[in-house]
Amino acid sequence: MFCYQCEQTAKGTGCTIRGVCGKEDSVARLQDILIWSLQGLSQVAHRARQLNIIDKEADILVFEGMFSTITNVNFDPDRVFSLICKTVEKRDLLKEKTGINPAGPAQFKAGKNQEELLAQSDQVSLWQHIEKMGEVRAGLLHLILYGLKGISAYADHAKVLGYYDEAIAGKFHELMNFIAQGDHTQEDLLEKVLETGKLNLSVMGLLDKANTETYGHPEPMKARMSPIKGKAILISGHDLKDLEALLEQSKGKGINIYTHGEMLPALAYPKFKHYDHFIGNYGSAWQNQLSEFAQFPGPILMTTNCIQRPSSKYMDRIFTSGLVAWPGVVHIADRNFSPLINTALSMEGFTEDAPEKVADIGFAHHAVLGLAEVLLAKINEGKIKHIFLIGGCDGAKPGRSYYTDFAKATPPDTLLLTLACGKYRINKESWGDIDGIPRLLDVGQCNDAYSAVLIAKALAEALSAEINDLPLTLVLSWYEQKAVAVLLSLLSLGIKNIRIGPSLPAFIKAPVWEILQNQWGMKAIDDPQKDLQEILK
């Protein structure tokens, strides 16, 4: 295997024996074959669109397949094998329907079983790009590929809620077709990097529309961060549709529902506030699940991504849904959560109330823009000197204490925005307020990065300024491919002077990093105090 798509990749260069995430060699190689097969399907679907033939099933399958290869989603070789078979079958049906038969990945003939497929994996490994194009151009190609993986996650979240855009799917196929063509100039690759970022803005906009039209705009509130006595279920990941089904099926049964990780912002949606048993949040970010899930006295539902190898302490009470898969873990494919509910009813749950702790959440774009006049007044009065967006993916790799230390060093007349699970590095501190406005504003999930973009654009418009002229600095952490997609969107908007860490992507080699520094002023995080002084100066 060869995989260097996440921030925690082995030795900072790539996993070659087994993934740091827990991915086995066979699964990694099957995922490479799946990506190759999806490129072939996109080759045909892209050309079919030029004949005004749109196959929605093909669009959705490409999104689902790509999402399945994101870090911490699908670790089950049988599920990956099934996706490969579906992809090749759909590709061949579309070929037959259209008469289109391009060269390249579209010609891939999959083996009849996993053993035969694994024997073919060397032909389609991502390493072949590096051998053919060199590390720099291959890294740019993979930057596009990983951005598309992130886009596929957002597109799938929207699709689950019934929102689909054929133009977005068409552009996705076009970029996948570009990757399938292989050898490109550095200039062409950089152009497509920015096109990938622009596409992600469209997808995040669609997802924001899906979430807010379905569940309402998040409302500022204080979320309970400690458990109360009673039976309990924990839901982690990102999927709001799964949460809605779980809340509906469990109401009136004496079971309290808690969010974990990226599900915390769900507590702020108006539609979910009608469920009295939707209590609050338990635990913190995804990388702490081994200890937090073991201590939780009830079953756990993992939606979308972020699953880790389950320990024996909770293996018999963890369930997956959607595209998430781990061998041996019970999967619920139809949102019938009876097994989860019955498990909760059979367990004692929490035996006493814990001391109450709360965190401010719900400051998505609708809420913050509702405060726009007040914020602008405070900026003009000099009461808010600077705004920092501190957030992104959290993770276990050393160096992430930087974000806590940086936030603590910010002056009291500065505002802190946060989003994604990186919020857990700073959301349990007491930050006070600026004339009644909480200093820390939680924008939401990583899926809600679109809110931060809308807030920045609105402030720039109100102040008759360019985004780069705002008293605004982005200090980002990354781990997986959704974060890559968001970064590309920020670059496509021309946003400069972003600081990123805790380490640089292994697929971005020195010459590419120089381009990012020279063109966008990107910087790697360093010492918190030093970085802060440089920013404020």
Quickly state the pLDDT bin for 287 (edges 50, 70, 90): very high
| Whether residue 165 sits in one domain with residue 24 | yes
Domain boundary among 197, 214, 231: 214
**How many domains in the chain?**
3
| Whether residue 253 sits in one domain with residue 234 | yes
| CATH number (domain holding residue 45) | 1.20.1270.20
| Segment among 265-269, 273-277, 398-402 with least mean pLDDT | 398-402
Specify the pLDDT at position 505. Answer: 95
Specify the pLDDT at position 299. Answer: 98
Contacts of 515 (CB under 8 A, 6+ apart): 190
| Residue 262 exposure: Cα atoms within 13 Å on the Cβ side | 27
Task: Look at residue 193 and tell me if it is in a domain.
Answer: yes
| Whether residue 181 sits in one domain with residue 115 | yes
How many C-beta neighbours within 10 Å does residue 385 have? Answer: 16
Residue-range definition of the domain harbouring residue 517: 363-536
Contact 486, 446 (CB under 8 A): yes
Q: What are the phi and psi torsion angles at 281 (to 5°)?
A: -115, 145
Task: Look at residue 354 and tell me if it is in a domain.
Answer: no
pLDDT in tens, 464-508: 999 999 999 999 999 999 999 999 999 999 999 999 999 999 999
Task: Look at residue 5 and tell me if it is in a domain.
Answer: no
| Whether residue 294 sits in one domain with residue 368 | no
Specify the pLDDT at position 28. Answer: 97
Domain boundary among 346, 377, 403: 346
Quickly state the pLDDT bin for 447 (edges 50, 70, 90): confident
Averaged pLDDT for residues 385-405: 94
Contacts of 410 (CB under 8 A, 6+ apart): 386, 388, 416, 532
Structure tokens of 302? 């993992």
| Whether residue 136 sits in one domain with residue 68 | yes
Averaged pLDDT for residues 452-458: 94
How many C-beta neighbours within 10 Å does residue 10 have? Answer: 15
| Whether residue 506 sits in one domain with residue 414 | yes
Specify the pLDDT at position 416. Answer: 97
Averaged pLDDT for residues 86-98: 98
15 sits in the region (left: phi over 0; alpha: psi -120 to 50; else beta) called beta
| Whether residue 231 sits in one domain with residue 324 | yes
Specify the pLDDT at position 30. Answer: 97
Task: Look at residue 355 and tell me if it is in a domain.
Answer: no
| Whether residue 226 sits in one domain with residue 202 | no
Averaged pLDDT for residues 124-130: 85
Specify the pLDDT at position 123. Answer: 85
Structure tokens of 299? 């079953």
Task: Look at residue 1 and tell me if it is in a domain.
Answer: no
| Segment among 352-356, 384-388, 394-398 with least mean pLDDT | 394-398
Specify the pLDDT at position 215. Answer: 98
Averaged pLDDT for residues 309-319: 97
Give the global pTM: 0.97
Averaged pLDDT for residues 276-288: 97
Task: Look at residue 100 and tell me if it is in a domain.
Answer: yes
Question: What CA dihedral angle connects 208, 212, 213 and 219, to 10 degrees?
Answer: -160
Contacts of 188 (CB under 8 A, 6+ apart): none
Q: What are the phi and psi torsion angles at 474 (to 5°)?
A: -100, 125
Q: What is the mean pLDDT of the chain?
A: 96
| Whether residue 181 sits in one domain with residue 93 | yes
Contacts of 173 (CB under 8 A, 6+ apart): 42, 45, 46, 49, 59, 62
pLDDT more than 90, % of the chain? 95
Has residue 537 got a pLDDT over 90? Answer: no
Domain boundary among 346, 379, 406: 346
How many C-beta neighbours within 10 Å does residue 490 have? Answer: 23
Specify the pLDDT at position 426. Answer: 96
Task: Look at residue 477 and tell me if it is in a domain.
Answer: yes
pLDDT in tens, 216-255: 999 999 999 999 999 999 999 999 999 999 999 999 999 9
Contact 309, 294 (CB under 8 A): no
| Whether residue 180 sits in one domain with residue 234 | no
Specify the pLDDT at position 422. Answer: 96
| Whether residue 100 sits in one domain with residue 242 | no
| CATH number (domain holding residue 404) | 3.40.50.2030
Residue keyed to tokens 């597109």? 155
Has residue 125 got a pLDDT over 90? Answer: no
Contact 76, 325 (CB under 8 A): yes
| Whether residue 517 sits in one domain with residue 428 | yes
Task: Look at residue 71 and tell me if it is in a domain.
Answer: yes
